[in-house]
Structure 1
Amino acid sequence: MNQPARITVVGGGSWATALIKMLSESNVQIRWWMRSKTDADHIKKFHHNPSYLSDVQISSRKVRVCMKIKEALRDSQYVILAVPAAFVSEALKGLKAENFADKCIVSAIKGMVPEKNVLVTDWMEQEFDVPAQKLAVIAGPCHAEEVALEKHSYLTIASTGLDCAASVAELLSCRFVQASPIDDIYGVEYCAVMKNIIALACGITHGLGFGDNFQAVLVSNAMQEIKRFVDAIYPKHRDLSGSAYLGDLLVTAYSPFSRNRTFGHLIGRGYSVQSAQMEMNMIAEGYYAAKSIHVINQHYKVDMPITNMVYNILYEKASPVAETSALRALLK
């Protein structure tokens, strides 16, 4: 019998829990690091996460919960990062390049490191000297809630090192998940960041009372906006109609499971940013991403009216009604 793959999952939220469920279908040994001692103790005793996707049963034979990050990383072959981008620096605090040596590092984070305004994979390469061919990202379209229900889902694993991408895709493939590898890591990762901003825009306009017709035009224009930005920042022949690009955008823009759409909807209904964050009790990556992309685009100067609208509403305290009215004139 083949030896089980040794995997570390960093993060205790819904997406981390969904990844644990997928991985547990394979021949694996998982060390699961989470910050909450209360949740960790509960999982050890009752074998489910009390805070997220509580119906998912956690295999005590395959999964060991850890509170010490260095212990969780020891001897692992794969490290999957599944914490919000805003907290990844704190989660990995005190670690050094040697802690990640010879491991395949996989980002399941669909956001950018705030303040530094860099992709998570770029940050891992800069901070911990992880070689590019050992870095990968996980893209959807795939909501954690549907994984918990074992609804058939699709993942794309992107890496410049196709061996790394293929091995991660094999680990995540199971009876209800189909995963495939590609090499467009930057295109996939930037699209994953951008689609959260677009989902915020969809939520804002929905909260203002706009219907499906407007949302369809908004999303089709958003796809063109994403293409302009990604082509400017990382030129490469790519088909953005693929599931890792358009598919991930569609599910995030339209699904009731989308936390970014939900966050935007609250903003459109008149909530402040702070009150919307408190209402959700979850991180909407698009909030931080809107600022990061805005800063990056000051250099590239790509025409991005939808992203600008979201940035103005969230960070300049502009009126959602006025910003949406201005955007309407630009959509085609």
Structure 2
Amino acid sequence: MKKITVIGAGGWGLALGLLLNEQGNHITFWCYDEKEKNDILQHRENKRCLPGIKIPLEITFTTDMQQALNDADVAIVAVPSKAIRSTAKMMQPFIPAKTIVVNVSKGIEDETLMRLSQVLEDVLPNDVVVLSGPSHAEEVARHVPTTVVVSSNNMESAAKIQDLFMNKYFRVYTNEDLVGIELGGALKNVIALAAGIVEGIGYGDNTMAALITRGITEISRLGIAMGGKPSTFAGLTGIGDLIVTCTSGHSRNRRAGELLGQGFTIEEAMEKVNMVVEGVPTTKGGYALMKKYNVDMPILSAIYAALFDKVPVAETIDTLMMRDKKDE
């Protein structure tokens, strides 16, 4: 039995904590505030993020970081990307040296353009493992067969996390390409916003297929420029994660995009989704990386124009379609 702390009690953190609880581990959740903790304890479920999934009584919840991390073997970080650094700073005084930190959030830090594992390593002395792939919390919590990938600068720690999570409905691969895995996981949320726009406007399968295939081309282009391996973007954390996020009704990024396509502002869309839409801040970070590495990413540029320059989405699509002709 391992002592496992999950930092963040949203849908994805809960789904992973439930999985590890089923495998006989001792699970403690750290909650951001007392209201969140009390709501979960009262209902034994997170009605906003993971409704209908009951949480066993043996799983504990606390808002005390020291108590949560005491003697933890593994700490799973499942907070929004914008909170990664501040959360890591809260963890730093209390986390044991032996604890393996597993990041399951996806994004890019706005101010530094760091990948999230780099942010954690910047604050914490612990080994950091990244877990990513096509994996909706709602389906994992219901034991739908799922495959993901783990990576780390210390692949021995990644192998330990692979062993920890593997079961009959959750298959885990390893991949040494940490850069490619993190960029694929982050940038697919930007393309998912575009997929939602396509759906919201009322376009069809032709448009969606074009978007997904050209989207993975853009993600690969930037990822390779930053040191990622081409093969990674053809795998689970590349095209796999992109497909599931662009096509699924579970995707909050796609849902926000649908609302944009229907004429809502991004602020209105995010309010209606009522959960973190990581594609919005990642668009800003991805755009800055595109400029830094001098990479051509027309879809990302179009989403940036729609979100931050307030260009009408129909106009951005016309601009994409009428660019100069070129070879594929």
State the TM-score, normalizing by the size of structure 2.
0.93
Q: How does 1:1-332 map to 2 (within 5 A)?
A: 4-61=1-58, 63-96=59-92, 99=95, 101-130=97-126, 134-236=127-229, 238-330=231-323
SS of the equivalent of 1:158 reads strand
Superposed CA RMSD:
1.8
2:177/2:232 contact within 8 Å kept: no
Post-superposition Cα deviations, 1:90-138, rounded to whole Å, max 9, x if no partner, equal: 43444436625232111110112233322111011112234xxx21111
> How far 1:269 sits from its partner (Å)?
1.0
> Mind listing any 5+ residue stretches in structure 1 that lack a counterpart?
none
SS of the equivalent of 2:15 reads helix
SS of the equivalent of 1:113 reads coil
After the TM superposition, which of the residue ranges 97-106 and 300-309 deviates more from structure 2? 97-106
Post-superposition Cα deviations, 1:258-279, rounded to whole Å, max 9, x if no partner, equal: 1111111111111111111111
After the TM superposition, which of the residue ranges 96-105 and 297-306 deviates more from structure 2? 96-105
Residues of 2 paired with 1:244 and 1:94: CA distance? 29
> How far 1:159 sits from its partner (Å)?
1.7
Residues of 2 paired with 1:318 and 1:46: CA distance? 43
The one-letter code matched in structure 2 to 1:77 is: D
Post-superposition Cα deviations, 1:191-235, rounded to whole Å, max 9, x if no partner, equal: 001100110111112212211111101111111111110000114
Post-superposition Cα deviations, 1:136-158, rounded to whole Å, max 9, x if no partner, equal: 11112111111222211112112
Q: CA separation of 1:95/1:141 partners in 2, compared to 1, >3 Å: closer, same or farther?
A: closer
After the TM superposition, which of the residue ranges 106-115 and 35-44 deviates more from structure 2? 35-44
The one-letter code matched in structure 2 to 1:50 is: K
> How far 1:28 sits from its partner (Å)?
0.8
The one-letter code matched in structure 1 to 2:211 is: L
1:100/1:128 contact within 8 Å kept: no
1:39/1:50 contact within 8 Å kept: no
Residues of 2 paired with 1:40 and 1:257: CA distance? 24
Residues of 2 paired with 1:95 and 1:174: CA distance? 29
2:8/2:30 contact within 8 Å kept: yes
SS of the equivalent of 1:157 reads strand
Q: CA separation of 1:271/1:150 partners in 2, compared to 1, >3 Å: closer, same or farther?
A: same
Post-superposition Cα deviations, 1:63-113, rounded to whole Å, max 9, x if no partner, equal: 211111122112111111111112223434444366252321111101122
Residues of 2 paired with 1:54 and 1:317: CA distance? 34
Residues of 2 paired with 1:52 and 1:225: CA distance? 31
Residues of 1 paired with 2:230 and 2:193: CA distance? 28
> How far 1:327 sits from its partner (Å)?
0.9
> Mind listing any 5+ residue stretches in structure 2 that lack a counterpart?
none
After the TM superposition, which of the residue ranges 258-267 and 170-179 deviates more from structure 2? 170-179
> How far 1:239 sits from its partner (Å)?
4.2
SS of the equivalent of 2:254 reads helix
Q: CA separation of 1:174/1:318 partners in 2, compared to 1, >3 Å: closer, same or farther?
A: same
> How far 1:38 sits from its partner (Å)?
3.0
Post-superposition Cα deviations, 1:273-328, rounded to whole Å, max 9, x if no partner, equal: 11111111111101000001111222111010011011111111111111111112
Q: How many pairs does the alignment contain?
A: 325
2:81/2:278 contact within 8 Å kept: yes
Residues of 1 paired with 2:230 and 2:185: CA distance? 18
Residues of 2 paired with 1:215 and 1:50: CA distance? 32
Q: CA separation of 1:54/1:207 partners in 2, compared to 1, >3 Å: closer, same or farther?
A: closer
2:108/2:115 contact within 8 Å kept: yes
Percent of paired sites with the same residue: 30
2:179/2:226 contact within 8 Å kept: no
